């Protein structure tokens, strides 16, 4: 088949549930093609032929790659037949994985739409973690820090809050404590025995850049100390010394995404829990 060079590609993501699995897979694949912009068309909760017909009409209007997770065989076959008519490649994201499971386990799967979103104990554990994390953001409610799984510390703009929320979605109760010049840290922090304490740091240049953008968005041009490189470097040095004194691990988030930072913390948390 001839190579097709596009500056963009339409990605049609068809799901009978929320579409989260499809979005994650599609973005992971699209990220490997830096010169191509993926235009996502997400169709969640497609569970009838009428709904599917609306989807295929849109696929015909903007042909591209079609990925789907449809449990019902009739809908899947109908989608694949239409895509074949349009010349649009169509792939079931779960089919190869389910085939491996079936071959290894020697048994058929039990089709369940959105089965990963069932309201089980794990789901409620994640909700509980999210509630805890939101209440313990930015140094609040330090009286019960011992109940946390992870406590993040760091200076302003080291992504403590978004990292904590990401961890909460993985079921990890996360509190975060800001390190602010001239303001003492809560005494509860240094006496923790259960939670894993992790320091987040970054290069002074990166912190200054983010803080400058923050001040611009707030239309605040007077807070020069907040973006002074030497002052920022001192804040980072203080964080590193504090963590070294207590043997708390540090993670440099300068070039890390939230997901990468969270993955590193999850690995540290597993080691901490096992120990």
Residue range 12-30: average pLDDT? 94
For residue 47 the two structure tokens come to: 């569970």
Binding site for ADP: what residues are annotated? 154-161
pLDDT digits (tens, 9 = 90+) for 194-233: 999 999 999 999 999 999 998 988 888 777 889 999 999 9
pLDDT computed for residue 5 by the predictor: 54
Query: What tokens appear for 75 in the block?
Result: 């809908």
When pLDDT is cut at 50, 70 and 90, the band that residue 2 belongs to is: very low
Helices of type H across 186-228: 187-190, 204-218
Give the chain's domains with CATH numbers. 8-115 (3.40.50.2300), 121-274 (3.40.50.300)
Q: Give the residue numbers of the binding site.
A: 154-161
**For position 121, what pLDDT does the model report?**
79
Say whether pLDDT at 165 is over 70. yes
274's tokens:
């096992």
The mean pLDDT value of the chain amounts to 93
Q: What whole-number percentage of the chain has pLDDT above 70?
A: 95
Residue burial 153-175, b: 16+ Cβ < 10 Å; e: rest? bbbbbbbbbebbbbbbebbbbbb
pLDDT in tens, 110-145: 777 766 666 677 888 999 999 999 999 999 999 999
Residue 87 has pLDDT above 90, yes or no: yes
Q: Average the pLDDT over 54-81 and give the result.
A: 96
CA distance 213 to 240: 25
The kind and range of the H/E element at 82 are helix 73-86
Structure-block tokens of residue 152: 């993040």
Q: With cut-offs at 50, 70 and 90, classify the pLDDT of residue 1.
A: very low
Mean pLDDT along residues 250-256: 97
Please state whether the predicted TM-score (pTM) of the whole model is above 0.85.
no
């Amino acid at each position: 088949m001839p190579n097709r060079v596009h500056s963009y590609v339409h990605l049609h993501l068809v799901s009978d549930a929320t579409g989260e699995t499809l979005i994650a897979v599609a973005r992971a694949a699209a990220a490997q093609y830096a010169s191509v912009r993926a235009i996502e068309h997400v169709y969640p909760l497609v569970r009838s032929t009428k709904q599917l017909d609306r989807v295929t009409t849109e696929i015909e209007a903007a042909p591209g790659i079609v990925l789907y997770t449809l449990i019902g065989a009739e809908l899947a076959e109908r989608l694949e037949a239409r895509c074949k008519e349009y010349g649009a490649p169509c792939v079931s994201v779960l089919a190869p994985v389910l085939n491996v499971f079936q071959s290894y386990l020697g048994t058929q799967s039990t089709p369940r739409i959105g089965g990963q979103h069932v309201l089980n104990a794990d789901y409620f554990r994640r909700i509980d973690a999210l509630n805890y994390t939101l209440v313990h953001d930015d140094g609040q409610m330090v009286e019960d820090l011992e109940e946390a799984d992870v406590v993040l510390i760091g200076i302003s703009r080291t992504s403590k809050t978004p990292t904590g929320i990401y961890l909460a979605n993985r079921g990890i109760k996360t509190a975060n404590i800001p390190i602010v010049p001239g303001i003492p840290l809560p005494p509860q922090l240094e006496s923790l025995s259960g939670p894993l304490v992790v320091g987040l740091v970054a290069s002074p240049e990166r912190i200054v850049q983010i803080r400058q953008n923050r001040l611009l968005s707030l239309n605040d041009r007077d807070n020069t100390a907040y973006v002074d490189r030497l002052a920022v470097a001192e804040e980072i040095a203080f964080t590193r010394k504090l963590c070294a004194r207590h043997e708390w691990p540090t993670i440099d988030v300068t070039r890390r995404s939230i997901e990468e930072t969270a993955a590193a913390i999850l690995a540290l948390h597993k080691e901490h829990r096992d120990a």
